[in-house]
Amino acid sequence: MKLSELRIASLEFALSATLPLGVWLVLLSPEAFSGESFLRSAGAFLSYAFTDAEVSPSERVRYILLAVLPAMLVLLSVVTWRQASLKGRCEFWCIYLGWVATVIALALFYWPSAIACAMAMYHAGKRPAD
């Protein structure tokens, strides 16, 4: 079975989302010696990252971008997979969001995610071979 270009793009978007999701998993997990539950530790970290006055504005922007990036990439993965199922083409806004996600990944220095996202954009933008 040959995968269409949009299905390949969808898989590459999903692959590029794994690094930021892994970073969130590490950030939200409790420390080994704390003895806290996962939910309590995650809540404490999220409260610190988004509401604490000690967090600098640049660090807060980094956490916001880190929250937006995997959501965008998963959304792009689902949309491109759906477009492939409908035998459609990737819409302009989809390609635009892919470039925005690539730039965010580069700004966060997540090079593997940026490379996978750029490859997904290449596959999403290709015209189907007739």
**Tens-place pLDDT, residues 58-98:** 999 999 999 999 999 999 999 999 888 887 777 788 889 99
110, 9 in Cβ contact below 8 A? no
Position 36 pLDDT exceeds 90: no
Q: Per the confidence metrics, is the pTM higher than 0.75?
A: yes
Banded model confidence at residue 128, pLDDT cuts 50, 70, 90: low
Banded model confidence at residue 129, pLDDT cuts 50, 70, 90: low
Instruction: Tell me the Cα Rg of the chain.
Output: 17
pLDDT of residue 37: 83
